[in-house]
Structure 1
Amino acid sequence: MSETDASPRIGQVVRIVHGREAGQLAIVIRIIDSRFVLLADGEKRRFDSPKRKALRHVDLLPYVSPEVRRSLLEAGRVTNGKLRFAISTYVNHTVKRFEEGR
């Protein structure tokens, strides 16, 4: 991740680029410090056992789930179903934009 990239946001979708889970999508559920975040996807990585990941090992994608963000900021937690829904919403939105040629 270069210094020109924006900082991560709670509820932001990321693509893991290094490690065993490379290529998978996850959501930032907590920012530990300037170098590390906690990630969950609601399926393999549940909210209760998130993955600690270095920011240099993820690509920040241009989508922040408003539902996940609101839930985490208000209640401090989010359901695994909501995490799965947010990732599928991002994937469907990306496919739709790709099919439209944008």
Structure 2
Amino acid sequence: MEITTDLKIGQIVKSKAGRDKDRVFIICGILDEQFVFVCDGDLRKLNSPKKKKVKHLMIYNTVLTEFADKLQGNENLDDAYVRRVLSPFNQSVSKEMEVE
């Protein structure tokens, strides 16, 4: 999957390349068919998301629809909320790293 047609806002992704390799992010915007905006509430805040190529991301099937609804509804979203919803995914990634 090299283009954004199958991706949704609120979908969980993991970086495969770059300085942020192996970090878990959530898609907070779709720019065009090759780029998305990702944030994690820690390194990349909601107000300054990272522009990332889709080919540099490992896509998870999990979509956090509650996050997408809040983002599109202009509700109060903060970085602590993003960190909280991503914490189970960060824990599973750290367990994968220990196994390798």
TM value normalised by structure 1: 0.78
Q: Deviation per CA, 1:7-32: give whole Å up to 9, x if none.
A: 21101110000101010000100000
What are the within-5 Å matches in structure 2 for residues 7-86 of structure 1? 7-75=6-74, 78-86=77-85
Secondary structure in 2 matching 1:42 = coil
Same amino acid, percent of matched pairs:
28
Query: Which ranges of structure 2 fall in alignment gaps of 5 or more residues?
Result: 94-100
Which one is further off, 39-48 or 64-73?
A: 64-73
Which 4+ runs in 1 deviate beyond 6 A?
Answer: none
Give aligned pairs, total: 94
TM-score under structure 2 length normalisation? 0.80
Q: Is the 8 A contact 1:18 1:57 kept in 2?
A: yes
Structure 1 residues without counterparts, runs of 5 or longer: 96-102
